[in-house]
Amino acid sequence: MISKPRGTRDFTPEEMKKRRWLENKMRRIFELYGYEEIATPTIEHLELFTIKSGEAIIEETYAFEDKSGRKLALRPELTAPVMRFYIEKFQMEPKPLKFYYFANCFRYDRPQKGRYREFWQFGCELIGTDKPEAIAELIAMAYHVLEEAGLRNIILRIGNLDILRRFLDELGANDANIMRLIDKKDFDSLKEKIDDFEKFQEFIERKSLDGIEYKEVGRMEEVLKFLEEYSIPYNLDLSIARGLDYYIGIVFEIDAPKLGAEKQICGGGEYNLIPLLGGKATPTAGFAIGFDRVLLALEMEGIEFNAKEKPVYIAYLHGMIKEAIKIAKMLRKEGIKVEMDLMRRSISKSLDYANKKGIEKVVIVAPDEWNRGNVVIKDMEKGKQKEVSIENLLKELG
């Protein structure tokens, strides 16, 4: 027997109903904010990701050579592909551009709860503006997407890399390695690297910007005021860092505490990636939502997924298959899900099958009733049935 590759999953019909339900809710919010969906290839040139993240990313990337010797990779994330697409296709388009996407990504990582080698990301990129109201709208949308999905216990944390770097400059500790350690929350190593660690710790634990006199604070305060206009609750967190230099300005993360150690479900902020990929510098910001973790958080919060309605099942007596097809066509034309007996079962076996599938309504097509212009509807939950006219069937099923 051949099993699925490690770190991947198969999804049952019930799981797919949950996933599509959540996907549709998220899509709706992105589009309410004026974002338009795009898609990029599953495979990209490996260089796209090494330019962005360095050679070290190869260790956790599904990288390979094709038959012509080109170095390719299954995409480990979606920001770099979207920026590549923008540079190739959209640089001359009116700004701002608002793109969103939903796709699978691949990382050669150790699988654990909520982390897989194939995973799905919802995300977006805002290209062409860095005005405070634009960044506030982006953050508000991220919160709104998760709130609309049904999560009730989420925490938004907002930081600022420009402010953090300015403070590290004063400590003489502003380098890429320090930022990586802050990003990893490796405070033991930071104690050895930062001379005045106590001052550093006091700074990143601040709950307000009062008393910080850097020029970057004014813009940050504007963003926070706009967030208050959106009625979005937030926490200042100056410990949020990114390990790569092209991340700049405001950064944010959203946690679902029910998930424990792997609680982060969304991360985003401002960055300056386009020039690295050969494009003309323009303001960019975005975020990515871990779709699988959101589903897990929803399940842990005990949400009832609004799965779509069960199909109507059509059973028929022997010789009535053409009449059953007529009923199926009529109902499907009106947007009703229909499953029809395809095994030529007896009525009793058809009813048994429908019961096992959890189907609530069965339409029975039989000769005597058909000759009267009628069919029989059986309510499987109540165990009752009644004869109804074909012309009133839709109303009776409604």
Query: Which domains can be identified in the chain, with CATH numbers?
Result: 13-300 (3.30.930.10), 312-397 (3.40.50.800)
pLDDT at 114 over 70: no
Between CA 179 and CA 124, with CA 218 as vertex, the angle to 5 degrees is: 60
CA separation for the pair 184, 162 (Å, rounded) = 18
Amino acid at 155: I
pLDDT at 307 over 60: no
Per-residue pLDDT at 310:
79
Which H or E element spans position 287? strand 284-290
pLDDT band at 261 (very low <50, low <70, confident <90, very high): confident
Q: Average pLDDT of 198-202?
A: 94
> Do residues 312 and 362 touch, judged by C-beta distance below 8 A?
yes
For residue range 205-225, list pLDDT tens digits in order. Answer: 999 999 999 999 999 999 999
Structure tokens at 114: 């909520």
Strands 71-74 and 63-65: antiparallel
b/e code 241-279 from CB counts within 10 Å (16+ = b): bbbeebbbbbbbbbbbebbeeebebbbbbbbebbeebeb
Strands 338-340 and 284-290: unpaired
Q: Average pLDDT of 166-178?
A: 90
For the chain, give the mean pLDDT.
94
Centroid of chain to Cα 182: 26
For residue range 27-59, list pLDDT tens digits in order. Answer: 999 999 999 999 999 999 999 999 988 888 899
pLDDT at 87 over 90: yes
Structure tokens at 44: 């990209």
Structure tokens at 141: 């949308």
> Do residues 120 and 279 touch, judged by C-beta distance below 8 A?
no
Radius of gyration of the chain (CA): 27
Per-residue pLDDT at 294:
96
Per-residue pLDDT at 126:
98
Helices 132-149 and 216-229 sit at what angle, rounded to 10 degrees? 40
pLDDT at 174 over 90: no
A 10 A CB-CB count for 101 gives 23
b/e code 31-51 from CB counts within 10 Å (16+ = b): eebebeebebeebbebebbbb
Tokens 């609530």 correspond to 360
**DSSP state, 310?**
P
pLDDT at 345 over 80: yes
Q: Average pLDDT of 110-129?
A: 90
CA separation for the pair 316, 366 (Å, rounded) = 6
pLDDT band at 351 (very low <50, low <70, confident <90, very high): very high
Q: Is 221 exposed, middle or buried, given 0-12, 13-18 or 19+ CB atoms closer than 10 A?
A: middle
> Do residues 23 and 102 touch, judged by C-beta distance below 8 A?
yes
CA separation for the pair 116, 108 (Å, rounded) = 9
Structure tokens at 133: 């109201």
